[in-house]
Amino acid sequence: MFMKKLNHILLTLLIAIATTIFTEAQQAHVNLNWAPQKNTLNLIPFSANVNSPEVTDDHMVIFRVKAPDAHEILLTGNVLLGLKVSKPVPFTKGADGIWTLKAGPLDPEIYYYKLVIDGVSVDDPSNTFTGFAGMPAFSILVVHGEGPAFYDAKNVPHGTVARHIYYSEITSGEREVYVYLPPDYKSDRKYPVLYLLGGSGEVASTWSLFGRVNFIEDNLIAEGKAMPMVIVMPNNQVVHRNDPQHSDKTFRLFNDELIRVVMPLVEKTYNIRTDRHGRAIAGLSMGGRHAQVVGFNNLDKFASFGLLSSAESLDKTPAIDQPDFNSKVDYLFVGAGTNETNPGARHEVLHNEFVKRNIKHEYYVGSNGAHDFITWRHLLYYKFLPGLWRK
């Protein structure tokens, strides 16, 4: 009897250990975990010297930095919006030279943050989730909920994301474009195509790596909320962002890059529709301005548009004053984040102009975000992608 009871106890312990091993560990990078910064094994991330950040189930976050010679460390970034504070938050130094900050609770979401160490802005040296784009690196904080979010990898059929390298005569160099293909992509079917553009600080990979558009679309398709589509994510950086003539140059150059180079490449490679009703163009911030100007000035090529946290002067899009403009548009979406919207916000001004000119469009302000991917992921999932090709 004793041995039977002992074996039962040992079996229970083995099951508990196995369960622990296969749960999400602190920044383990084994699975595409929806709670990657939850600390279950009390292990320090590989090559780090402290555990940071650590996210608890009650949505508190513990940041740690080992910097015995530092005099001041501050937390900054869009995580401050989640914390509902406007100024950088200070860490406290311990006797062991480890600086600590416990903050929260935060709503489940993906946040960006940076550290300011003695006046120098850096990413968190112990956080293995680091973002990159057309700007210096930043750290990523994943505050998990009770299960995978709409932007997480779930147990559903997944599409693929392909990277294409090509030569562009517009920029005189090698460039890249990322292409999402829906689950069960078939070579004998023509799919509608969305050209999805980044902002002035983004690169071609940003929408898939940090915007998670592939997981969002996977989940929407599985939920029956969006049409299977091909999503093309080009690099819409065509001139140095700090060029004093950036605004004057970028629209013409990107128009040529998209129409003359990117579109022929993807249309030759993939089975996508080439009629205007099968094409959409959308973007965030600068990418939304590109979508507005390039899209509206090429109504023979595009019929659906998404302008996320953006607006450009209507002087650059004279087509909207044509009496048949509404008849040429299948879907026009204007959206932004709750915390970037006020009576003078450019997207609200654009919305009011559309109303004044009787331009049919959907206007939506939502999410707990501002001018960030908290907003843009939300807009894609809850409004824009489900709204495409529903006529």
pLDDT for res 239 = 86
Mean pLDDT for the stretch of residues 368-387 = 96
Q: Where are the domains of the chain?
A: 21-143, 160-387
For the stretch 301-316, pLDDT in tens is 999 999 999 999 999 9
pLDDT for res 391 = 61
Record the tokens describing residue 40, joined without a space. 């279950």
pLDDT for res 13 = 39
CB atoms within 10 A of CB 309: 27
Taking the model in full, what pTM does it have? 0.91
Mean pLDDT for the stretch of residues 140-158 = 96
Flag whether pLDDT at 386 surpasses 60.
yes
- Look at domain 21-143 and name its CATH class: mainly beta
For the stretch 222-234, pLDDT in tens is 999 999 999 999 9
Residues 253, 326, 281, 133, CA torsion sign: positive
Q: What is the per-residue DSSP string for 273-342?
A: --SGGGEEEEEETHHHHHHHHHHHTTTTT--EEEEES----GGG-GGGGSTTHHHH-SEEEEEEEGGG--
Flag whether pLDDT at 249 surpasses 90.
no
**Lowest mean per-residue pLDDT among 66-70, 238-242, 367-371:** 238-242
- Domain 160-387, CATH homologous superfamily name and number: Alpha/Beta hydrolase fold, catalytic domain (3.40.50.1820)
For the stretch 267-277, pLDDT in tens is 999 999 999 99
pLDDT for res 47 = 87
- Report residue 41's pLDDT band, with 50, 70 and 90 as the boundaries: confident
The reply to whether domains 21-143 and 160-387 share a CATH topology is no
- How many CA atoms within 13 Å lie on the side-chain side of 188? 0
Q: Indicate left, alpha or beta for 63 from its phi (over 0: left) and psi (-120 to 50: alpha).
A: beta
For the stretch 73-111, pLDDT in tens is 999 999 999 999 999 999 999 999 999 999 999 999 999
3-state secondary structure (DSSP) of residue 120? strand
For the stretch 329-339, pLDDT in tens is 999 999 999 99
